[in-house]
Amino acid sequence: METGIDIEIEDINKSNLEDIPEPCGGCVYWEFPAEFDQKKLDRRQFQIRKREWFEKTTQEFGTCGKIVYHEGKPIAYAQYAPRDQLVGTGRHESKQLGKVEEGVIFLSCLYITNKKFRDKGIGEKLLQTIIEDLRRRGYKAIETVARRTEAYNPSGPVLFYVRNGFHIKNNTDPEYPLMRLFL
């Protein structure tokens, strides 16, 4: 997929963790839901917790996120891991995620944070890079919770995922269906 825009997609690692664009850099919704809900921590503390999660998950799972750069500035972000490393999946309101399956990875965020770069193919390119990575590593499927309305949010729109080969696995929550792509 050609975006027509000069971009670089890099795996998240210790040297670029600080580049995770806002609002994602301080969001721990999926990683530490109790702390996220309590909102007792300030933004910097959330960023520290996010860094801890990335360091641990990268050590145990390998690559678990990507940053998209344009002219050296981060413009988009994605994060994925096995569900047991994303604690928030266990408390999802609709309980549509079901039991944890071996070989299935959860895409917790794919977000074009810089609005001027939306609808230009960057999200699709980022998603395809993740899919290729997971196929190479031998995973069988990727899942995400998409959103039917308000397309510009970290969960991403249902139609985006359908255009990229995903199907609705569970429609229990009509606003946030669970999407799946077999790899």
pLDDT tens for 115-143 read 899 889 999 999 999 999 999 999 999 99
Q: Is the pTM of this model over 0.85?
A: yes
Phi/psi for 21 (5° steps) reads -70, 155
**pLDDT band of 6, cuts 50, 70, 90:** very high
Say if 1 falls within a structural domain.
no
Mean pLDDT of 54-60: 94
- Among 13-27, 57-71, 95-109, 161-175, name the most confident range: 57-71
Higher pLDDT, 41 or 115: 115
**pLDDT band of 77, cuts 50, 70, 90:** very high
The C-alpha atoms of residue 60 and residue 129 are separated, in whole angstroms, by 21
Say if 38 falls within a structural domain.
yes
Say if 40 falls within a structural domain.
yes
Using only the alpha carbons of the chain, give its radius of gyration.
15
| Beta-carbon count within 10 A of 131 CB | 18
Q: What is the extent of the structural domain holding 151? A: 8-182
Say if 93 falls within a structural domain.
yes
Say if 3 falls within a structural domain.
no
The C-alpha atoms of residue 165 and residue 142 are separated, in whole angstroms, by 11
Say if 2 falls within a structural domain.
no
Mean pLDDT of 37-57: 82
Say if 39 falls within a structural domain.
yes
* Per-residue model confidence (pLDDT) at position 99: 65
**Whether pLDDT at 49 is above 90:** no
* Per-residue model confidence (pLDDT) at position 139: 97
**pLDDT band of 94, cuts 50, 70, 90:** very low
Beta bridge pairs of residue 168: 179
Say if 27 falls within a structural domain.
yes
Q: Where are the beta strands (DSSP E) in 114-163?
A: 141-145
The one-character DSSP state at 174 is S
pLDDT tens for 13-24 read 989 989 998 888
* Per-residue model confidence (pLDDT) at position 175: 85
pLDDT tens for 161-182 read 999 999 999 888 888 888 999 9
Query: Which residue is listed with tokens 């390998």?
Result: 62
* Per-residue model confidence (pLDDT) at position 3: 60
- The CATH code of the domain that includes 20 is 3.40.630.30
Question: Of all helices (H) and strands (E), which one includes residue 148?
Answer: none
Longest Cα–Cα distance of the chain, Å, equals 43
Mean pLDDT of 22-35: 81
Structural domain count of the chain? 1
